């Protein structure tokens, strides 16, 4: 259930990443609230990817899904 909710939120974020030539792939949602993702395309090598991950993806997920504690990139 939590995984589906995370995927729904990521689908809202995805278009803005795709506009810049990047994308995000959901790898896993742990029972401990840690979401594992993989940044793809332009996001994978971008020097701003850590900021995108924490201030964009993580902040949005935490705001919409309180169970999410952290987002990490693999």
The CATH number for 12's domain is: 3.30.300.130
Q: Which domain range does residue 36 map to?
A: 2-73
pLDDT at 74: 92
Spatial separation of the C-alpha atoms in residues 60 and 45, rounded to whole Å: 22
pLDDT digits (tens, 9 = 90+) for 11-58: 999 999 999 999 999 999 999 999 999 999 999 988 999 999 999 999
Q: Number of folded domains in the chain?
A: 1
pLDDT at 4: 97
């Amino acid at each position: 259930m939590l995984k589906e909710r995370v995927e729904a939120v990521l689908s809202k974020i995805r278009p803005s990443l795709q506009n810049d030539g990047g994308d995000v792939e959901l790898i896993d949602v742990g029972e401990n609230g840690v979401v594992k993702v993989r940044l793809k395309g332009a996001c994978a090598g971008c020097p701003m990817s850590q900021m995108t991950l924490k201030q964009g993806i993580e902040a949005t997920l935490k705001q919409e899904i309180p169970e999410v504690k952290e987002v990490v990139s693999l």
